[in-house]
Amino acid sequence: MRLNSPKINIISKACMKASRSLIRDFGEIENLQVSTKGPGDFVTSSDKRTEKIIIEELQKAHPDYGIITEESGIINKSNTSNRWIIDPIDGTVNFLNGVPQFAISVGYEENGEIKCGVVFDPIKNEFFCAEKGNGAYLNNSRIRVSNKKIFKDALLVTGGPKYSSKIKEKIFSEFEKISKIVPNIRRFGSAALDISYVACGRFDGYWQREINYWDIAAGTIILKEAGGFVDFFEPDDKAPLKRNVLASNTNIHKELKDLIVKKNIE
C-alpha cells in the first residue's frame, strides 16, 4: 500500500496538480517559449509554471517552510530546519526534444536530512515515493534495489559532465575507467529517474559529479528506503548546492565506490 503520511500527501497533491499542464505542454512542444540559461542548459515556460504551482501548493500547507528550487532559488532563507527541495522538470532537455524521460522531484528536508520525497514521471504515470522508516514505493507496490552481485554484470547509469564543467576530463576519465570493467552503462538524462530506477532494481548503480541538490534530494530517500546505499563524496564547501553522488545496491557498492572515490593518503 502506498504511503499516506501528511507530508507525502502534500507533495503528492502538488505534483499531481502541476503535472496536468506539464502533460499538455509535452504534447505541444513546438509552441513552448524557450529562453537560454546557458549553453546546453534551458528553461521553459513549463519549468516556471510547474514550479509556481508546486510552490503555491506547498506554501498553503506550510507557509513558513524554506524552499530550495531550481528556477526561483531559495525562498524563506531564515528557515533552514524545514525545507522543500524542488525540481519542477528534471530532464528539461529530454522534455524539450519530445523524449518522455523526465520527472517532477520534490523532497522534504528536516534539520539537514531528507525525510521523505516523491519523484513523479507524468508521462509513464510512475509515482516513486518514500518516507524514512516506512519504505519506498512505485505506485502501489513496495520496491527494492536489485540483488545483482557480480560487478561486471551490473547495469549502471550516469549523467556525464555539464557543458560548463571545469572537470570534464576527470569525469570522462572516470567513465572510461568504469566502462573497462562494466560494459553496460547508460545515460538517460534525468538524475531523479536514474536514482529512482536504481531503487526499483532497473539499474544496479548510479554515479555523477556536480549534480544539483534538487535533482537528487527526493531520490536519495527513495533509494535508501529501498535498501540501497547513497554516498556523497568529495564535498565542495564553495558549492553547497552541488553534490558528487554514488548510489547503488548493497552488493556492488564497495566496488563502484573504490573506482570513484579518492583513497585517503596516509
Q: What separation in angstroms does the CA of 41 have from each of 19, 36, 93, 234?
A: 22, 7, 8, 25
Minimal CA–CA distance to 191: which of 214, 164, 163?
214
Write out the CATH class of domain 6-142.
alpha beta
> Which of 72, 89, 112, 77 shows the shortest CA–CA distance to 23?
89
Across the chain, the runs of DSSP E, i.e. the strands, are 34-38, 41-44, 66-69, 73-75, 82-90, 103-110, 113-121, 126-131, 136-138, 141-142, 156-158, 185-186, 205-212, 229-232, 242-248
Helices (H), 120-190: 168-179
Is residue 50 within 8 A of residue 22, CB to CB? The reply is: yes
Whether 151-260 and 6-142 are alike in CATH topology: the answer is no
Q: What is the pLDDT of residue 41?
A: 67
- Whole-number pLDDT of residue 27: 86
**pTM (2 decimals)?**
0.93
Where do the domains of the chain lie? 6-142, 151-260
| CATH match for 151-260 among 3.40.50.880, 3.30.450.70, 1.10.357.10, 3.40.190.80 | 3.40.190.80
Residue with cell 512542444: 29
Say what the pLDDT of residue 4 is: 82
- The set of residues, in sequence order, having a beta carbon less than 8 Å from that of 49 and lying 6+ positions away, is 18, 21, 25
Residue with the three cell numbers 534538487:
214
Report the candidate in 74, 51, 67, 91 with the shortest Cα–Cα distance to residue 196. Answer: 91
Per residue of the chain (266 residues), give pLDDT as tens. 477 899 999 999 999 999 999 999 998 887 777 777 766 666 788 899 999 999 999 999 999 999 999 888 999 999 999 999 999 999 999 999 999 999 999 999 999 999 999 999 999 999 999 999 999 999 989 999 999 999 999 999 999 888 888 999 999 999 999 999 999 999 999 999 999 999 999 999 999 999 999 999 999 999 999 999 999 998 887 778 889 999 999 999 999 999 998 654 33
